Amino acid sequence: MKLIPAISRQVALALGITTTAVMSMPATADVDMSGKVIEWVIPFSETGGSAKWANFFAPLLADALPGSPTVLVRFMPGAGSTKGANWFQKQTNGDGTVIFGSSGSTQFPYLLGDPRVRYEYKDWNPVMATGTGGVAYLNADDGAKFDGTANNLKGKTYIYGNQGATRLDLIPALAWDMLGMDVEHVLGIKGRGDGLKMFESGEATVDYQTSSSYLKGSVALVEAGKAVPMMSWGSLGANGDVVRDPTFPDMPTFKEVCEATEGCQTSGDSWDAWKAFFVAGFPSQKIAFLPAGTSQDIIDTYVNAFAKIKAHPDFATISEKRLGKYPMYVGDEAKAALAAATTVPASAKSFVVDWLKSDFGVELKK
């Protein structure tokens, strides 16, 4: 376990959080968090997208909470995030000094009935959620063959650093399978940051990162000619269709690449399953929770603090540069985001369970 101070408060000062008016949110009691140390637990390593997300929000939260407490980001990687989530399930200190950040890699094992899951989302109190996106890319040699389709990428084995078959890496794994690409998965890395390191060293030939990590690290590889973007996963349009990611509007989505690739279908069981898990894993990808038993006064205090952050007129611009152009949800909106992130149709789950068994040898109950 690693305990790392949040990034400097320069971003918080730039936003002027301490002087921003709060949006219309629940009234709170006179909660004072002066002198307290808050641990924001992230169940991944310090190199991935969740780390960047928490490190971005932590100083803003410290200044927005009454009394300006210290907010430290604590990393607890292991078992594809189930170790940290199982730990959080046991927490009973509802005084606001412990919060938890989950991601799609925490949601997917829950949805799939992974036997290592000992946590229940219904017990937790969501106070903030954000969406994200993701980008898949190839090394320079293979990227030179990419023409908007995967037709020229077939007949070769690619190497990918995978956090685990039931984690968020399910999305790229199923996508590449649908495209007819032969990808060898090196399982067990602690976070997508470790996957990026594998790609940089040449151990991996294909990679994917969530938007914040892609913007922070992978873009430099693209600019240096060492990586070639293949596709984004896309975003969810108002009518429920997969549309271009607003952070990467010039990049084709997986749906577009699939439609252009021989043998790949954007209808039927595999597409329906991919889309269902994409919806569960990305539009509401990262969620901040307080533990079971937290008093309503503390919950309302956190909701108001995150609402204050969101309300500042400069927040969207600064957030877009660091995390990408995605919505932020607080209060009841965060609860709705959690519901979307922890629900998939039975048919989609059944398909994925069968696919995991045939492709990864992972046996889960339907």
> How does residue 223 score in pLDDT terms, banded at 50, 70 and 90?
very high
> Cβ atoms within 10 A of the Cβ of 342, count?
19
How far is 178 from 264, CA to CA, in rounded Å? 6
Asked whether residue 131 carries a pLDDT value surpassing 80, the answer given is yes
> How does residue 47 score in pLDDT terms, banded at 50, 70 and 90?
confident
Q: Is 125 left (phi over 0), alpha (psi -120 to 50) or beta?
A: beta
Single-letter residue type at 267: S
List strands edge to edge, sheet with 98-102: 2-5, 70-75, 37-42, 98-102, 286-290, 125-130, 328-330
Percent of all residues in the chain with a pLDDT value above 90, rounded to a whole number: 83
pLDDT of residue 346: 95
Asked whether residue 12 carries a pLDDT value surpassing 80, the answer given is no
- Asked if 233 and 244 count as a contact pair (C-beta separation under 8 A), the reply is no
Asked whether residue 79 carries a pLDDT value surpassing 80, the answer given is yes
Closest Cα partner for 146 from 156, 155, 137, 134?
137
Asked whether residue 260 carries a pLDDT value surpassing 60, the answer given is yes
- Asked if 106 and 89 count as a contact pair (C-beta separation under 8 A), the reply is no
> How does residue 19 score in pLDDT terms, banded at 50, 70 and 90?
very low
pLDDT digits (tens, 9 = 90+) for 163-184: 999 999 999 999 999 999 999 9
| H helix runs in the chain, sequence order | 10-15, 49-64, 82-89, 104-112, 140-143, 170-178, 192-201, 211-213, 219-223, 254-260, 269-281, 296-311, 315-323, 332-341, 346-360
Asked whether residue 6 carries a pLDDT value surpassing 50, the answer given is no
Asked whether residue 28 carries a pLDDT value surpassing 90, the answer given is no
Element at 157 (helix H, strand E):
strand 157-162
pLDDT of residue 290: 98
pLDDT of residue 26: 59
The token pair at 97 is 């000094």
**Phi, psi (rounded to 5 degrees) for 13:** -65, -35
- The pTM assigned to this predicted structure is 0.85
Local structure of 5: helix, strand or coil: strand
In whole angstroms, what separates CA 176 from the centre of its chain?
A: 19
> How does residue 5 score in pLDDT terms, banded at 50, 70 and 90?
very low
Furthest-apart CA pair in the chain: how many Å? 65
Single-letter residue type at 331: G
With a CB cutoff of 8 Å and minimum separation 6, the contacts of 196 are: 47, 207, 209, 213, 217, 218
The token pair at 162 is 């995978």
Q: Which domains can be identified in the chain, with CATH numbers? A: 2-131+281-341 (3.40.190.150), 134-279 (3.40.190.10)
Q: Which residues are paired to 159 by β-bridges?
A: 184
> How does residue 27 score in pLDDT terms, banded at 50, 70 and 90?
low
Secondary structure (DSSP) of 64-120:
HSTT--EEEEEE---GGGHHHHHHHHT----SSSEEEEE-HHHHHHHHHT-TT----
The larger pLDDT score, comparing residue 154 to residue 47, is at 154
